[in-house]
Amino acid sequence: MSPADPISPIIPISPADPVSPSGRMGSAAPLGSTGAPGPTGAPSSGVVTAATPEADAFTRPYWDAAAEGRLLIRYCADCDRHHHYPREFCPYCWSENVEWRPASGRATLYTWSVVHRNDLPPFGARVPYVAAVVDLAEGPRMMTEVVDCPHEGLRIGMELRVAFRTGADDGVSVPVFGPDPA
C-alpha cells in the first residue's frame, strides 16, 4: 500500500483464526474459560469472577464510609470542584490539594441499561438489573446500579438517593441508588 492509497488491504482470515459463533473476530472460548490451552490442548475452564473492590491506603476512607452508609467523594480546594472516581490529584486542574468530602447522596439518572445476562458471579444471580450512570448533586458522574425501581419506571433526570449493598461473600459495601422518596 502506498501513501497515496488510503484504503487498507483486506487481509484474508484463515480457518485457524479465532472466530466466534456469531462470525465476529475474537476468542470463541466459552465464558469461564481462561482461553489458555489445558493439558488436552482445549481451552481450560477456570472460574471467572468479578473483581471485588480492594481498599488500599488511599481508598480506605471511601470504603470505610461506605460500610457506615456514607458516600464520600473527592474535592479540590484549588478549583472548588468535586470529582469521582477517587484520585490523588484533581482531574480538572491537576492540583494535589484534594480531600475527601461527604456527598449529599442525591443524584439524577443520566443513563441506564437493563442487563439481562451476565455470567460473572455475583451478577448472574441479580439479572435483570439496572447498570447506570448518575449525576451526583455535587457534579461528578458515577457508575452504579439502580435498585428498588421497576425498569419501566426509569426516566432520565429522575431523582435518586444513595443506598448501600453489602456483599454476602466479602462484606464490602458499595453505593447503589434508588428512587428518592422525598
How far is Cα of residue 52 from the mean position of the Cα atoms in its chain? 11
Residue 154, pLDDT above cutoff 50: yes
Model confidence pLDDT, tens digit, residues 14-51: 444 444 444 444 444 444 444 444 444 444 444 545 56
pLDDT level of residue 181 (50, 70, 90 thresholds): confident
Instruction: Write out pLDDT tens, residues 112-128.
Output: 999 999 888 778 888 89
Q: What is the pLDDT of residues 66-103, one digit of tens each?
A: 999 999 999 999 999 999 999 999 999 999 999 999 99
| Confidence (pLDDT) at 39 | 46
Residue whose entry in the numeric block shows the C-alpha cell 426509569: 154
Distance of alpha carbon 172 from its chain centroid, rounded? 15
Element (H, E) at 23: none
Residue 122 is predicted with a pLDDT of 77
Confidence class for position 6, pLDDT limits 50, 70, 90: low
Phi and psi angles of residue 33, each rounded to the nearest 5 degrees, phi first: -95, 145
Position 53 scores a pLDDT of 74
* Three cell numbers written together for 64: 470505610
Q: 135, 165, 140: which is closest to 69 by C-alpha?
A: 165
| 147 Cβ neighbours under 8 A, 6+ residues apart | 129, 130, 163, 165, 176, 177, 178
Higher pLDDT, 134 or 42: 134
pLDDT at residue 162 tops 60: yes
Model confidence band, residue 182 (pLDDT cutoffs 50, 70, 90):
confident
107 has a pLDDT exceeding 70: yes
Query: In the chain, where are the structural domains located?
Result: 60-179
Whole-angstrom Cα distance, residue 157 to residue 138?
A: 15
Q: Is the pLDDT of residue 179 over 70?
A: yes
Q: What is the pLDDT of residue 119?
A: 87
